[in-house]
Structure 1
């Protein structure tokens, strides 16, 4: 080995140790390694930051932004009625949720797909009174599997595609990953839904998640829109829908006055207000499903379609400006553009209108207004916003337009009219013009730690490849598998890559393994495409630890899992992935 190779191998070994240790953020570790390589000489100073302009980095960032736009439109919420049915047996629930998770992961980032479906799974577990640990891990694994179906489903596919463009002259297309990805996802979903959940440690099956009844409930008001499809229906006709969303309809306000009792037999008319009880997210989703608008929206033109509204929960301390007064007295809506949507007071129900209710110290307020003004208003009121208790409002009327814009951009890319990065950029511009994303959300949607990791490791990977380091590793694999058929060497490469991915970020694993795969194929004198496809599959399959994939990390807390819980189901799933993917890859991409 040359001195440069020794240095780079040592540097990558140090990066690996620090990433597994987890004491320092992975983006800082990668960036520090890049700077060290520049100072030491293997990476030229003028190309040190070339990785940040790499097409793979741009595409990953754009996919995250597009995913946020689709979420804001409520497009994904359309599947909720089909996946949440408390009466379903657990295997059937896991099958439905896993298929939904895999399908979503194929068209949006798989981390975003899990973030969208996890609250639904938590809700289903609460209604069925079962431990959420039994369903969260299968859901996480299904979203990881689904990401392998398309180019944009998971970062390793994007990285592999761009590496193929550099190494072989042409990238993989959007659906080149589909034959292998669909086969693996199908078998994987059958396994996790029928057998895998049974391998979760028994201790995790004891507890259940808290239902909405155990959380802080608000009494809120929602206005019946002038063009609502529910006009002419009786209030009791909305009870099943309210029950599905964990919301209780506790009354009706007509012409400014509360109708006695629950008014269950009253017929809804335009301008009526329903009095609701529930948690903020349940209220928001019920309002969307029932074609309702928030109280105070009659003073605005945009209502629930506003691009920057949010629900904020805030505690009222002694000395607050609003103690002993009402929202109407403070003229919150007219002077400040903020609506007091609901009040929580130890489960107490009120006869007064929410805006006329005298607020007490210790109440929790549900405030609705422009997100950029919320900090200013809560400080003016002297209330304390509750950490992590902001609920963005979805713009459901724009769901069809959002789906159409996304489909058009992907179609343009598949047809070869524009490159994928340009197609996704046009989709982002469309979402901004439609009001689905504001300037802040465009930047907030990007996972900057991943961008820094990828931008830092690309020059390091290039340096290792140019120094002959990846060729050396490839030759070692070939030497140690001498006499084996090419499919067996492919399997060994998958096992090595999959093992790395369980402990390293999947992007880092792909950057290391991709040139090794091409090197092995070159040494064997065979087609490199099956080796690149094998790396893409193996790098995405991190099922043994909570640190290999972000989805596994996300579910660890809510599911109550321990570090050693993942391998029980994960080891069988990884064996299945290899057993299914190797034959499919060799059929679709012959050696």
Structure 2
């Protein structure tokens, strides 16, 4: 072995040990490995940095954005709700359904694209079923690779061996020629996961749900807002038109408080925002078709509506097209609810709510007060605030966040901006579904390169408002996974460049060839399976396909078994988070450590090898 090869293998061994220990972040280890290879002269700087411009890395960035849009629009929640109706909350049924659905998509779409499509749905499904996403995300990633073995286009190694057989004069494989071996892989993988799932992160869904802060929807239910906060719509002939709330003196005359006005601002383009929301203030002017959110007893609201010719909207009636955004009737992606606690030395203690300055300083309305076990929702502004009171406030999420960051007199419970991201924009769900469908069509038909298709989908996700601007798009990207993959791709370049890959592959195959075709088949599969943990599955297949074909020809054996061993061995890599993009994609969301891949993925990878070494000669006799 030459010096560069020794440095490369030593760096790889050290990086693997650090990955397994988990004491240092995986992305930092990957970057440190790159630096070592550059300092040792194994890789030039442009070679070391090539991983970050690799199409796989660019695809992963775009797919994170598309996945964020699927989450943000509530599409994931909608689909997961349908799946939950089919499988219930039984974990075994959920796992089977997730793996079968993922494998079915993975047969026609790249495994990276499949995971990106399914991941937000599965995370939402896990939360709905009150289980931790880590119980389902690793099976999802593995199923995408298993499904790729069902068709000729499911995974790049399939295309590589198809070309090798054609060039060798052994005919062209059909689209479903891979289905028999793919079906065995899928059944083996699913049965194995039913046992191996015990090593996945334990279900903490119940505990987590009890300890987390209350969401806006839960606050609505706790304060029973639907019983006290009613909506009325202004008709075209109403006496309220073009008058300010100050002129109308509604609180004095009806003991009601108008807290919010929602107004239709556009009907021409449903891709963009159609509802304007504003916290009601003294200078707010009433316009035709406005929906007023009024706090007070139902009988007083009815009297107010009757005098001014308003329509009282019951809880089941939509206010205006495009108004639903998830998260309940009184919290949307723009407007939020939060609880505010008074500090022990707050100067607000003993003051009336109307003297608190919440509306004047922060544009927030106080909707109610929780005082011990009592909820005060009427004539709130005339109540004196006491220590221990919890105030329910409503306003824009930004204004609530401003209160949380600047006010010293109160404590805002929870993180308003984080909470706002949980409120889905349901009106955009059809657009997100359309973008997703377009992405799948482009990936299946290959009208444009896969990376181009993903970039188109990502840009459309932002441009059509399925994710709220570039800032949120950047937040949707898991940069740890991106740096990990970008940092490890050049490692495969170093392994190939120094001759380590060729030395390992040819040496192992040559040494086993003397023991007969079965031993050679096992050698081809094992070599491929080991190599694919360190270099890309496509590069691994390209490297070993001609070696396997030559070895089979030398023996006078059917080369199909050997080349299928290369394809399957290159694709069935589960023991490492950086061996395939799907494994990396789910690492953060599933809260996996390197040890989880060793405990679950390594046994599955070994089992798959044993099964396929036995099955391949039966399907393709020597």
Tell me which interval the TM-score lies in, with the shorter structure as reference length: 0.5 to 0.7
- The offset of 1:399, in angstroms, is 0.9
Which of 445, 450, 472 in structure 2 is aligned with 1:420?
A: 450
- The offset of 1:523, in angstroms, is 2.3
Closer/same/farther in 2, CA of residues 11 and 320 from structure 1, 3 Å limit? same
The answer to whether residue 16 in structure 2 is matched with residue 16 in structure 1 is yes
Larger Rg: 2
C-alpha distance in 1 between matches for 2:471 and 2:620: 43
- The offset of 1:36, in angstroms, is 2.2
Aligned length in residues: 497
The answer to whether residue 293 in structure 2 is matched with residue 257 in structure 1 is no
1:18-167 aligned within 5 A: 18-84=18-84, 91-96=92-97, 99=100, 110=115, 113=118, 116-118=121-123, 120-125=125-130, 132=131, 138-148=135-145
Closer/same/farther in 2, CA of residues 164 and 293 from structure 1, 3 Å limit? farther
1:127-526 aligned within 5 A: 132=131, 138-148=135-145, 184-185=185-186, 188-189=189-190, 192=193, 195-196=194-195, 200=198, 209=207, 216=214, 218-219=219-220, 220=223, 221=225, 256-259=295-298, 271-272=312-313, 293-294=329-330, 304=333, 316-319=342-345, 324=351, 326=353, 330=357, 332=359, 336=362, 348-352=374-378, 361-362=387-388, 363=390, 369-371=396-398, 375-382=401-408, 383-384=411-412, 386=414, 390-392=419-421, 393-437=423-467, 438-482=469-513, 483-485=516-518, 487-493=521-527, 496=530, 509-511=534-536, 515-525=539-549
Closer/same/farther in 2, CA of residues 450 and 580 from structure 1, 3 Å limit? same
Closer/same/farther in 2, CA of residues 423 and 181 from structure 1, 3 Å limit? farther
- The offset of 1:522, in angstroms, is 2.7
Closer/same/farther in 2, CA of residues 446 and 585 from structure 1, 3 Å limit? farther
Measured against aligned partners, the alpha-carbon deviations of 1:317-348 in whole angstroms (never above 9, x if no partner) come to 3355766554896354x875656678766665
TM-score, normalization: structure 2? 0.62
The answer to whether residue 568 in structure 2 is matched with residue 534 in structure 1 is yes
Measured against aligned partners, the alpha-carbon deviations of 1:6-48 in whole angstroms (never above 9, x if no partner) come to 2211222222222222222222222122222222212123443
Indicate conservation of the 8 Å contact 1:56/1:159, yes or no. Answer: no
- The offset of 1:121, in angstroms, is 3.4
Q: Give the equivalent residue in structure 2 for 1:242.
A: none
C-alpha distance in 2 between matches for 1:458 and 1:321: 59
- The offset of 1:143, in angstroms, is 1.5
Structure 2 counterpart SS, 1:386: coil
Measured against aligned partners, the alpha-carbon deviations of 1:60-95 in whole angstroms (never above 9, x if no partner) come to 111111111111111111124334469765544554
C-alpha distance in 1 between matches for 2:566 and 2:190: 24
TM-score, normalization: structure 1? 0.65
Closer/same/farther in 2, CA of residues 72 and 422 from structure 1, 3 Å limit? same
Indicate conservation of the 8 Å contact 1:410/1:424, yes or no. Answer: no
C-alpha distance in 1 between matches for 2:446 and 2:202: 49
Closer/same/farther in 2, CA of residues 378 and 123 from structure 1, 3 Å limit? same
- The offset of 1:394, in angstroms, is 0.8
Structure 1 counterpart SS, 2:329: strand
Structure 2 counterpart SS, 1:440: helix
C-alpha distance in 1 between matches for 2:462 and 2:420: 20
C-alpha distance in 2 between matches for 1:375 and 1:321: 21
Measured against aligned partners, the alpha-carbon deviations of 1:466-489 in whole angstroms (never above 9, x if no partner) come to 221211121233144333445423
Q: Give the equivalent residue in structure 2 for 1:266.
A: none
Measured against aligned partners, the alpha-carbon deviations of 1:213-257 in whole angstroms (never above 9, x if no partner) come to 997552453666979xxxxxxxxxxxxxxxxxxxxxxxxx99642
Closer/same/farther in 2, CA of residues 317 and 452 from structure 1, 3 Å limit? same
Closer/same/farther in 2, CA of residues 353 and 146 from structure 1, 3 Å limit? farther
What are the ranges of 5 or more consecutive residues in structure 1 without an aligned counterpart? 126-131, 152-156, 169-174, 228-252, 261-268, 276-286, 296-302, 501-508
Indicate conservation of the 8 Å contact 2:65/2:461, yes or no. Answer: no
Closer/same/farther in 2, CA of residues 257 and 418 from structure 1, 3 Å limit? same
What are the ranges of 5 or more consecutive residues in structure 2 without an aligned counterpart? 149-153, 166-174, 235-291, 300-309, 317-323, 551-558, 578-582
C-alpha distance in 2 between matches for 1:163 and 1:491: 15
The two structures, once aligned, show a CA RMSD in angstroms of: 5.4
Structure 2 counterpart SS, 1:390: helix
C-alpha distance in 1 between matches for 2:382 and 2:37: 65
C-alpha distance in 2 between matches for 1:39 and 1:214: 47
C-alpha distance in 1 between matches for 2:543 and 2:434: 42
Indicate conservation of the 8 Å contact 2:574/2:601, yes or no. Answer: no
Structure 2 counterpart SS, 1:293: coil
C-alpha distance in 2 between matches for 1:159 and 1:310: 47
